[in-house]
Amino acid sequence: MKFGVYAPNLGPYGNARALAVLAREAEDAGWDGFFIWDHIARTWPVGMVDPWVALAAIAVATSRVCIGVLVTPIPRRRPWKLAREIVSLDHLSGGRLVFGVGLGSGYGTEWEGLGEETDPKVRGRMLDEGLAVLDGLWKGEPFSYTGQHYHVKDAHFLPRPVQSPRVPIWVAGYWPNRAPMRRAACWDGMFPLYDRYGVGRLDEFIESVAFVLEQRAQLDASGPFDVVYRGMSQPGTEGVERAAQFAEAGATWWIEHLVPMVFGVDDWQVDWPVEAMRERVLQGPPRL
């Protein structure tokens, strides 16, 4: 199992330089990945950084760790612009990029407040079409597509991604919702979420993994497939033992949820315990 850090793109981390420094420190501390959120607005005034600008800084500041955004809601992106951004980052990072997708959670501020689609069923169809467009454009061959929401005519995008057959796509969704898990089975990884902090019980995790693997078997899907668990750990034996339980249950990635709530501050709008959060990164992963 690999281990990553998962940080917001807002508040004290709403700054590309700050995230790049933290990512470099995470790499030096032995983590295998560094992932950030993709939000654009909150219900309260708060500084944010564009995740793709931040990832460019992170890519330059690091040399080994996987990097990526978890998760990008394609329904509020133009897939062809996103295709360019992702391939550019894949090249800049030397093939270390992971692309996480989902319907998009967040508050109405990010959707209704900005004139975006609010119906989750419609967003689901937009997500599937967007993924088809991305996959087609990344092949580096002439590509056309006609869908309900997106249309592409005689496009030919180069260069191809560094990674083959594509930049890995991890699909997120809240369990026990089946639709996002069925979608995940079609791509390269699953990122199941559970309660408000995303930390599910071991039995929930086992149940969600079994469902997706059954779907993949029905699709006769092959190739590498990542199973991502978002958790919180403390250094030492207890954290290692907890991570080991999820590795045994099929997790290929543990990503450490770096939010104020983990450190006793249950309010996004007060001062974050930044030093404690950084110290957790410096302490390294709950390595088995």
3 state DSSP class of 172: strand
Q: For the domain 2-282, what is the CATH code?
A: 3.20.20.30
Render 101-120 in DSSP notation, one character per residue: EES--S-GGGTGGGT----H
Residue 82 tokens read as 């996103």
Please name the helix (run of DSSP H) or strand (run of DSSP E) that holds residue 239, with its range, or none: helix 237-248
pLDDT reported for residue 106: 67
pLDDT reported for residue 151: 98
Q: How far apart are CA 109 and CA 41, in angstroms?
A: 6
Q: What string of pLDDT tens digits covers the 288 residues of the chain?
A: 999 999 999 999 999 999 999 999 999 999 999 999 999 998 889 999 999 999 999 999 999 999 999 999 999 999 999 999 999 999 999 999 999 999 987 668 899 899 999 999 999 999 999 999 999 999 999 999 999 999 999 999 999 999 999 999 999 999 999 999 999 999 999 999 987 665 778 999 999 999 999 999 999 999 999 999 999 998 888 899 999 999 999 999 999 999 999 898 989 999 999 999 999 999 999 987
How crowded is residue 272: how many other Cβ atoms within 10 Å of its Cβ?
Answer: 19
pLDDT reported for residue 234: 84
For the chain, the residue count is 288
The residue whose two tokens read 């083959």 is 164
pLDDT reported for residue 195: 72
pLDDT reported for residue 200: 79
Q: How far apart are CA 19 and CA 223, in angstroms?
A: 32
Which pTM value belongs to this model?
A: 0.96
Q: Work out the burial of residue 172: count CB atoms within 10 Å of its CB; fewer than 13 is exposed, 13-18 middle, 19 or more buried.
A: buried
List C-alpha distances in Å: 102 to 24, 168, 255.
Answer: 27, 14, 17
pLDDT reported for residue 197: 62
Question: Where exactly are the structural domains of the chain?
Answer: 2-282
Q: Are strands 97-102 and 66-73 parallel, antiparallel or unpaired?
A: parallel
pLDDT reported for residue 58: 98
